[in-house]
Amino acid sequence: MSANVGGADKVIRIVAGLVILGLGLAFKSYWGLVGLLPLITGLVGFCPAYVIFGISTCKK
């Protein structure tokens, strides 16, 4: 499992994840849990979907 999520992509994923989680809490909706996916992939630096499509935003 090598990193395939680059710097700007990480920031966008973390911010989007936090926003989605926050909106889920504000509206008391379980849909906010969807925000965990971009948050975790941003923090870990690895996206399984990128592997499937052969994408990498990480500088080599």
**pLDDT value at residue 60:** 74
Rounded Cα–Cα distance for residues 2 and 29 (Å): 34
**What would the pLDDT profile of 1-58 be if each residue is shown by its tens digit?**
899 999 999 999 999 999 999 999 999 999 999 999 999 999 999 999 999 999 999 9
Residue count of the chain: 60
**pLDDT value at residue 19:** 98
**pLDDT value at residue 14:** 98
**pLDDT value at residue 59:** 87
**pLDDT value at residue 35:** 97
